[in-house]
Amino acid sequence: MQKKITIIGAGLVGSLSAIYLAKRGYLVNVYERRQDARKTNIYAGRSINLALSDRGWLALEKTGISADIKQIAIPMYGRQLHYADSSQAFYAYGKNDQAIYSVSRGTLNMRLLDLADAFDNVTLHFEHKAKSMDLAAGTVLIEHEGNDTLTHSDLVLCTDGAYSTGRMGMQLGMEQFNYNQFYIDCGYKELTIPAGANGSYLVEKEALHIWPRGKYMMIALPNLDGSFTCTLFFPFEGAPSFNSLQTREQVTQFFNEQFADAVAIMPELVDEYMRNHNSPLVTIKCAPWTMHDKFALMGDAAHALVPFFGQGMNCGFEDVRVFDELIDKHNENFTEVLKEYQTLRKPDADAIADMALNNFREMSELSADPMFQLQKKIEININAKYPEVWIPAYSLVTFSPQVRYSEALQRGQQQQRIMDTILQQPNISTHWDSNEIVEQAVAMLQAN
């Protein structure tokens, strides 16, 4: 009999999972509380963009839609650092053509919705809000235009984001549900570098721009129309902070002092700063992610991450791919699929959540530090000679989807301990590229 699937939330992860499950011939109903973004243009005037990397691409490729998404993605081959004195330096992310890709969240979501909608066995219900779940009965209560209905299905995927109603349903409906939410003391605000004449890019197009300033930073990712979306990651309190910059004069003075090269190409800066929200950044961990053979949390609903590794969506897309592989492995036995999905994915999501928190320091503080840059150069050198043995942690996470996040964390920590020893050697800054250093590092790694 054709299996019936309920998906709550038609965001990035919900729409991708609808495509995967539709391809299996299941009857898929997706309930989204918002209006259809494709008709109402709810993203108008908002150009939030995300970095899509190899884990995300693998999930898109496995369901045959990566070529579609490539059309709306811009490769970024490295970090373009903008120092306080307005000088700049470019650091490649990896080898030759290795890149992460800038995609507009809205455009990507709309493209995924179109692809899901093309299946006869998928029905997208917009302005349908999940209100609660009955875990024993396996049903979800959906509200639409003031009326409530109950869904009945073989499986409920809760892909309803960081503030998930599905997760809340599990929390309320079962004993011993673990839940942890942690806000960092830094938030973010979106700003813009507009396009130049004829849609030209006013700074290097194919790079992720970073203005590292210690306790805070600004980044910028390119958009297809020539503009860049900038994100200021900034403390809420203290000086400087969102709280300390209240007036137009304070904002102008601060940006002129700290981000002078950017100010020159951000004509709307002060208006945008005053108008746009300061948003918080949260890490959410919970367990279990599944209930019986019926309910599963996926994407941000299961694991919200801070964005400093650019992995929230990538991790959610990987959830979808792994889940699909488990359906094959367990021959559509959802009890077994859900059990192994949680066993596999929970430690990986915890690992990337921790790595994402740590990476704030790497981006904002360390990326301007000469020792950090030296370490990166040494690692690239070792990797060039021993590409299978020494893979930097960033590359393991970003360009090695065959390596689990939990393994990337453990290997990254081990390599960091070795690099700490290497960097303490006298004269390391002059013989960092010697064979001796490479051989020492590899010997230490293999001795472990």
Ligand X SMILES: Cc1cc2nc3c(=O)[nH]c(=O)nc-3n(C[C@H](O)[C@H](O)[C@H](O)COP(=O)(O)OP(=O)(O)OC[C@H]3O[C@@H](n4cnc5c(N)ncnc54)[C@H](O)[C@@H]3O)c2cc1C
125 binds ligand X, rule: CB under 6 A: no
3 state DSSP class of 385: helix
List the structure tokens of 169.
């349903």
364 binds ligand X, rule: CB under 6 A: no
- From residue 116, alpha-carbon distances to 19, 46, 323, 392, 405 in Å are 5, 23, 18, 36, 28
Nearer to ligand X, 227 or 231 (CB): 231
51 binds ligand X, rule: CB under 6 A: yes
Nearer to ligand X, 404 or 422 (CB): 404
- Minimum distance from residue 346 beta carbon to ligand X (Å): 16
227 binds ligand X, rule: CB under 6 A: no
Q: What is the DSSP string of 47-60?
A: --EEEE-HHHHHHH
Nearer to ligand X, 309 or 390 (CB): 309
**Binding letters toward ligand X, positions 162-201, x by CB under 6 A:** ---x----------------------x-------------
3 state DSSP class of 241: coil
Dist CA 159 CA 8 (whole Å): 6
**Binding letters toward ligand X, positions 295-324, x by CB under 6 A:** ----xxx-----x--xxxxx-x--------
Nearer to ligand X, 233 or 390 (CB): 233
> Which residue stretch of 74-82, 145-153, 157-165, 406-414 sits at the interface with ligand X (rule: CB under 6 A)?
157-165
133 binds ligand X, rule: CB under 6 A: no
Nearer to ligand X, 50 or 266 (CB): 50
> Which residue stretch of 31-39, 65-73, 77-85, 222-230 sits at the interface with ligand X (rule: CB under 6 A)?
31-39
395 binds ligand X, rule: CB under 6 A: no
Rg, the chain, Cα only: 23
CA geometry: angle at 112 spanning 109 and 117, to 5°? Answer: 120
CA geometry: angle at 436 spanning 435 and 441, to 5°? Answer: 100
Nearer to ligand X, 63 or 159 (CB): 159
> Nearest CA to 81 among 262, 225, 253, 239?
262
138 binds ligand X, rule: CB under 6 A: no
Among 34, 38, 144, 205, binds ligand X (CB under 6 A): 34
**Binding letters toward ligand X, positions 82-121, x by CB under 6 A:** ----------------------------------------
Residues 6+ apart with CB under 8 A from 240: 216, 234, 254
Residues 6+ apart with CB under 8 A from 175: none
Dist CA 36 CA 10 (whole Å): 9
Among 129, 330, 339, 361, binds ligand X (CB under 6 A): 129
Nearer to ligand X, 230 or 327 (CB): 230
360 binds ligand X, rule: CB under 6 A: no
- From residue 346, alpha-carbon distances to 297, 319, 341, 413 in Å are 11, 10, 8, 19
73 binds ligand X, rule: CB under 6 A: no
Edge-first strand listing for the sheet containing 129-134: 129-134, 139-144, 147-152
Decide: 140 and 151 in contact? Cβ < 8 Å: yes
229 binds ligand X, rule: CB under 6 A: no
Nearer to ligand X, 188 or 201 (CB): 188
* Bridge partner residues of 7 (DSSP): 30, 157
**Secondary structure letter of residue 89 according to DSSP:** E
Number of residues that bind ligand X (CB under 6 A): 31
H helix or E strand, kind and range, residue 126 = strand 122-126
- Minimum distance from residue 7 beta carbon to ligand X (Å): 9
Q: Write out the residues near ligand X by the rule CB under 6 A.
A: 8-14, 31-34, 50-51, 129-130, 159-161, 165, 188, 231, 299-301, 307, 310-314, 316
